[in-house]
Structure 1
């Protein structure tokens, strides 16, 4: 394949931090804080869309889920525990190595691969659910990336996209505040110019024959020290889309 979504500088950046994926007090601390709200959003929508029993311990038995840019597996592991057959891919081989070790230590069977979304499309793979979470702002060739993610969604399946809005507030809070003032993230983690607005994301989704069925903002509540869903999409947000069966 001549086209790629891989940004070598971004891969090098996350490879350098790979050993800290599962340290809740390390460089991925903000993602550990963010994980419960995005996992709950995924879980609630999967239960609703696929008609699963929300009270079941393993409600997602039989569902195939792909986590694109899975990192150390922070979403892959809980979704596997909920019964799904999970594949996690990442272009950074070190991330995959860390994810495999942690899954093995946790007694979980997860199909981790050092590969890209476009490579899976070329192999003809499809999944019931595709997770595109906090990745699009780190890739090259956004158009190819969003197309490849969409192409991996099976008929009747869902795609979740989470990213950062390109606003003055996201520059102030997600870049200057998080990286330079509060030091939640290493400096240079994000490039504000690569952030995408909700309308830009939704246009990409619709262009690739998926239907947008939901969207939500995610905001941090400092007094509660937790992230919550919100109608405010000015900084962090998630978009849900589905591929119709016909």
Structure 2
């Protein structure tokens, strides 16, 4: 589905790398029409999104020493959302003031995202390709609940690092590979139809230590790991436990060279 990038700079995926798994892209492409239906196949993401946004907003304010009472903390900054789906995260990032670009492997998702953003009067750039083809540099890079669906996690992390501008912030989230995540996400959520069957492959989940190692290998420094927990009473919430799912923030390590920017390429 995606052709390989010809980029061969430090931190970039190796030539010939294709990070997208075509079967995964097709699976999520079939869900495109329901992305914005809070009771549809993406209902779980709608429930998860407010918690993720709360974490991202706090990370933004901490990273750029911002005022947590402001409405547009990303004003003047660029943002890249990798694996954007139909724009559930890209649109709030735009409302926070960022110039946003969204990447997704499924052209069906990109079409829905473009239409929805236009309806809301949001100027968001969407592209249907993998991170290995992205040549822009961004102040904020997000990749939420995506890395467990790719064929080359290390290549994705290198691509994310390469897309990060000097002084930028990277935020990822992904399920942990634990007995709890197997039971909750596959046994219960998929088994009862709350998440479409076949959405997850438990063996592709990464532990926090594994993801941290990939980020360090890509020249980044992990600055925070916070768990995402679920309870029937409260729903999703941030947690000290990473047993189910977790969020990670990272920045370029002080000794790692950065290719400056913050200016996306059209």
TM-score category, normalised to shorter length: over 0.9
Other-structure match for 2:248 = 239
- Count residues in correspondence: 241
Can you give the 5+ residue segments of structure 1 that lack an aligned partner in the other structure?
Answer: none
Q: Which has the higher contact order (CA 8 A, sep 6+)?
A: 2
Mapped to 2, the partners of 1:159 and 1:203 lie a distance apart of: 15
Q: What is the CA deviation profile of residues 125-148 of structure 1, one whole-angstrom value per residue up to 9, with x for unaligned ones? A: 211111011000100111111111
1:205-220 equivalence runs, <5 A: 205-220=215-230
Alpha-carbon shift at residue 221 of structure 1 (Å): 2.1
**Equivalent of 1:114, from 124, 128, 139?**
128
Alpha-carbon shift at residue 184 of structure 1 (Å): 1.0
Q: Is the Cα contact below 8 Å between 1:155 and 1:244 reproduced in 2?
A: no
RMSD: 1.1
- Between 191-200 and 1-10, report the one with greater CA deviation: 1-10
Q: Is the Cα contact below 8 Å between 1:64 and 1:127 reproduced in 2?
A: yes
TM-score (norm 1): 0.95
**Equivalent of 1:128, from 118, 134, 139?**
139
Other-structure match for 1:79 = 93
Q: What is the CA deviation profile of residues 145-190 of structure 1, one whole-angstrom value per residue up to 9, with x for unaligned ones? A: 1111111111111111100111111111111111003x21011110
Mapped to 1, the partners of 2:17 and 2:97 lie a distance apart of: 35
Q: Is the Cα contact below 8 Å between 1:216 and 1:238 reproduced in 2?
A: yes
Alpha-carbon shift at residue 235 of structure 1 (Å): 1.1
Other-structure match for 2:200 = 190
TM-score (norm 2): 0.88
1:16-165 equivalence runs, <5 A: 16-120=30-134, 123=135, 125-165=136-176
